[in-house]
Amino acid sequence: MDDEDMSCTSGEDYGGYGDEDYYNEADVDAADDVAVTPTHSEEADYECLSVNQVERVFIDGVNSLVSRIQINEKYARILLEANQWDADKIVTGYRKDRTEFMRKSHIESKPEPKRTLSATTSMLKGYCSVCAMDGYPTLPHLSCGHCFCEHCWRGHIESRLSEGVAARIECMESECEVYAPSEFVLLLLKSLPALKVKYERFLLRDMVNSHPQLKFCVGNDCEVIIRSTEPKPKRVTCQCCHTSFCVKCGADYHAPTSCETIRQWMTKCADDSETANYISAHTKDCPQCHSCIEKAGGCNHIQCTRCKHHFCWMCFGDWKSHGSEYYECSRYKENPSVAAEANHVKARRALEKYLHYFERFENHSKSLKMEEELRDKIRKKIDDKVNEHNGTWIDWQYLHKSVSLLTKCRYTLQYTYPFAYYLGAGPRKNLFEYQQAQLEKEVEELAWAVERAEVTARGALEAHMHRAEHKRQVLLHDFFF
């Protein structure tokens, strides 16, 4: 694929869920046609670049820095990578204290004590302190002056590459933090093509990751690199593999939740979900001291090991009076006060809070998958009606737009739960939960109407769509944009 073919700019808002056929064309303005016109776009301004185009971005950055301060190009690239490609920061630090700044950027070494006569003599003889061999005619070295043989340098580079390090391969001398320029490494790997290719691939990854405007597409086997100056965690969609993700963190698009919050949430889900499910299913709290108790046998007569209280596992009643109350134990009672007392334990409350948000987050995730099947059914239904000459493709597109909008609204609703979980109590949370409830109500009403689209009047369905998208836009305006 040519560079010209690869380069592209962001388009309209596709909602993160689209088909690669003509149905995608109708999705573009689905929200705008029937609902409200967003005051802000969820789609970031971006462009898709090839590897060659990204390399030109790096070269332009290096040339720009070289024109502002007197520095070699190979060191300019190290400076930019070490300082997140912030040229102004580099120029300021360089002019303020050149020596100290170059040390902090790992280009120059710290002052060392004068070498002894024996050490100087060994260096003159071509001595490598790693393999303890001498007689080498030349010894490669970095700006720090520490010399080692080519064989040891190659071994060191291969070792660092196995650890995933490329841009920050340091000198082998103990406590020396000078980085090796790419030109130095590539020269040493000239006779090792496989290792050279691996180094170039890892170096590109490190350079892209250090650049605040660049992000690899997260699609499988996709080599596109996204460039964006967007400060907010908005959505980008790769124009080659059509994968949508957050432009800031590379995770699934997660508005209104921030990148840091969604990272915490996903980590917590991975760590706590199985534990929480087990605790919820297999443990209860002592009704007297609120200790968490796991039932180890079949008998429902439980004695708390902490406070020695005897109680019934099923109804939490005092075992002393339980003999005459089996009827009460087996009968369902709404809001049993004894059982409610167990919820006062702090750990249990925290668990219940987590499960409350986690279950709803997961439920909407499952609903999205089922509604993808609904999308396919509606698409087939539209095709059948058009083939039977029962209206045109345009006549029935409102059905497809309805399920597309439902997907978009439910997707936003799903990510409101991590946001609410970490949002502190107060007026702001009260407002958020109110708007969240309003959106949930409209989403479920829209889902009900979409599932019964054939018996729902078009005007009524579009009214549901308008209200749902309006609630979604209001929530995003207040808590994301």
The DSSP code sequence of 203-230 is HHHHHHHH-TTEEE--STT---EEEE--
> Is residue 339 within 8 Å of residue 315, measured between CB atoms?
yes
User: What is the bridge-based pairing of β-strands 46-49 and 225-228?
Assistant: antiparallel
235-249: string of b/e by CB count within 10 Å (b at 16+)? bbbbbbeebbbbbbe
> Is residue 234 within 8 Å of residue 43, measured between CB atoms?
yes
Residue 299 annotated as catalytic: yes
Q: What does the block give as tokens for 130?
A: 């790693």
Task: Give the distance from CA 12 to its chain's centroid.
Answer: 22
> Is residue 94 within 8 Å of residue 69, measured between CB atoms?
yes
Q: Looking at 152, 176, 241, 299, which residue is catalytic?
A: 299
Packing angle between helix 259-282 and helix 346-387, nearest 10 degrees? 110
**Dihedral sign (CA 226, 230, 231, 236):** negative
Give the type of residue at 193.
P
Say how far apart CA 111 and CA 441 lie, in whole Å. Answer: 68
Residue 205: which residues within 8 A CB-CB, separation 6 or more?
Answer: 166, 216
**Smallest Cα–Cα separation from 143: which of 122, 165, 171?**
171
Give the type of residue at 426.
G
The DSSP code sequence of 332-349 is --SS-HHHHHGGGSHHHH
Say how far apart CA 186 and CA 466 lie, in whole Å. Answer: 59
Give the single-character DSSP code of 391: S
> Is residue 112 within 8 Å of residue 176, measured between CB atoms?
no
Task: Give the distance from CA 369 to its chain's centroid.
Answer: 20
Question: What is the three-class DSSP state of 302?
Answer: strand
Say how far apart CA 51 and CA 55 lie, in whole Å. Answer: 6
Give the type of residue at 397.
Q
Q: Which residues are catalytic?
A: 299
